[in-house]
Structure 1
Amino acid sequence: MNRDNIVLIGMPGVGKSTIGVVLAKVLGYQFVDADLLIQEAEGKLLSELIEENGTDGFIEIENRVNSQIQTHRSVIATGGSVVYGKEAMEHLKSIGTVVYLKQNLRVLQRRLRNLKGRGVVLKEGQTLVDLYKERTVLYEKYADITVDQYKQSIEQTLKAVRKALEEN
C-alpha cells in the first residue's frame, strides 16, 4: 500500500481545509476535502445528513465514504468526527501520514460560534468542551504527527507541518 498522502485531522475550526489547500499547493499535491466527498456521495449538505440520520447515522456514512478514499500524492482534509470511524481511520493511516492539528480550547470557542450550522457532529446536550475532551483522546491515538497551532499563524503552522513531515 502506498502511503504518499497527508491526512489532516483535528477539531472543527483548526483550519484543516485552509492549511490543506496551501500545503497541497506548496508540495505539488492534490487537495481532497473529505466533507465535500461525503456531500457529493450523498447529494446533501452535512447539516442535512446529520439532521436526517442523527449523529450515529452520519458517522456511519462518514466512515463508509472515508474508508473508500483512493488517492495518491494528496492532502486530505477530514471532518472533525472522522476519528469516530475505526475503519476510516485505519484506511487513512494505511494510505498516508496522519497529522493532528491541535488547537487550544479557548481559541476554538472563539472561532466556533455556530456548531450546528457548520455540520458539526454533536450528541444531544453535548457542549464544545465535552466534544473537545472526547475527541482529543482519539486525535492523539491516530496521529503520526501532532502540530500544536496555539498562537501560530497559518504560515507558522504550515512551516511546522512541513518540518514535522520531513523529520517523520
Structure 2
Amino acid sequence: MNKNIVLIGMPGAGKSTVGVILAKRLGYQFIDTDLLIQSRTGLRLQQIIDSQGLPRFRDIEEQTLIDLDGQNSIIATGGSVIYCPKGMAALATNGIFVYLQVPLIELEQRLADMGQRGLVMHKGQTLAHLYQQRTPLYQKYAQLTQDCTDLNAEQVAGELEAALKRYFCDVVHSPDLM
C-alpha cells in the first residue's frame, strides 16, 4: 500500500476523525484539506463562504487539491470535493477514493449546529437535499465504500483497515496485472 487513501463523504461522516486513527494504524501521514484551506486563506471555511461566496470557495478548494503533494497519506477531504473535477483528478493520480457512507438520519444528529461548520450549500438548501444530490457523486468516485452506520470512529477505522488490505491484495493479485 503506497498510494494515498482519500476519504470522501458528507460533512459529519467522520473523515477527519477516522483519518487520524487510520493514519496511526497504517503509519501514514494525515492531511485534512479543510485545514489546508484555512491555513492558506487565514479564514474559517464559513467565513470564506459568507464573504466570498460558494463559487470562490470551490475555486480555492480545487486549487488546494491540485497543489496537494501527499505521499503515503490519509487525506480527509471536504464534503464538497466532488464538485471539483480537476481536484478529484489530481487526487486520483496517486490515491484511491474511500466513501464513508453514513445514513442521513445519523448525519442530522451529528450536525446539530450546521451554521458554524462551513457547509458548502446554497441558502435555503437542506441537509436532506444536499445528501440526495451528493450521494451519487460519492458513489461514482469511490473505489471502496465503508458503511459507517452505528459505528464509532475506532470501529470504522478498524473495518476500513481490513477492507484496504483486502483491496490492495486483490489489486496486486489481479489477472489484469500479471
TM beyond 0.5: yes
TM-score, normalised relative to structure 2:
0.90
The within-5 A match list for 1:19-98 is 19-98=18-97
Deviations 1:102-125 (A, max 9, x none): 001001111111212101111121
- Map of 1:99 onto structure 2: 98
- Tell me by how many angstroms 1:166 deviates: 1.2
CA–CA distance in 2 between the matches of 1:12 and 1:115?
9
The residue number in structure 1 matching 2:141 is 142
Contact 1:3 1:94 in 2 (8 A): no
What code does the residue aligned with 2:41 have?
A: E
Q: Is the 8 A contact 1:3 1:97 kept in 2?
A: no
CA displacement at 1:59 relative to structure 2 = 0.9
Contact 1:4 1:95 in 2 (8 A): yes
Q: Aligned equivalents of 1:150 and 1:3: distance in 2?
A: 28
Question: What is the identity, as a one-letter code, of the residue corresponding to 2:36?
Answer: L
SS of alignment partner, residue 6 of structure 2: strand
CA distance in structure 2 between the aligned counterparts of 1:3 and 1:48, rounded to whole angstroms: 36
| Contact kept in structure 1, 2:21 and 2:154, CA below 8 Å | no
Output the CA distance in 2 between the equivalents of 1:116 and 1:109.
Answer: 13
How many residue pairs align between the two structures? 167
- Paired amino acid for 1:61: I
1:112-151 maps to which residues of 2 (within 5 A)? 112-151=111-150
Compared with structure 1, are the counterparts of its residues 135 and 123 closer, same or farther at alpha carbon in structure 2 (3 Å cutoff)?
A: same
**Shift in Å, 1:150:** 0.6
What is the rounded CA distance, in whole Å, between the counterparts of 1:112 and 1:153 in structure 2?
Answer: 15
- Counterpart of 1:123, as a letter, is H
Aligned structure 1 segments of 4 or more residues deviating by more than 4 angstroms: none
Letter in 2 for 1:76: I
Deviation per residue, 1:79-103 (Å, 9 max, x gap): 1111110011111111211110000
- Structure 1 unpaired stretches of 5+: none
Amino acid at match of 1:148: D
Any idea what SS the aligned residue of 2:100 has?
Answer: strand
**Structure 2 counterpart of 1:88, one-letter code:** G
Q: How many angstroms does 1:53 deviate by?
A: 1.5
- The offset of 1:41, in angstroms, is 1.2
For the pair shown, the structure with the greater C-alpha radius of gyration is 2
Percent of aligned positions that are identical: 46
Aligned to 1:159: 158
Using the size of structure 1 for normalisation, the TM-score is 0.95
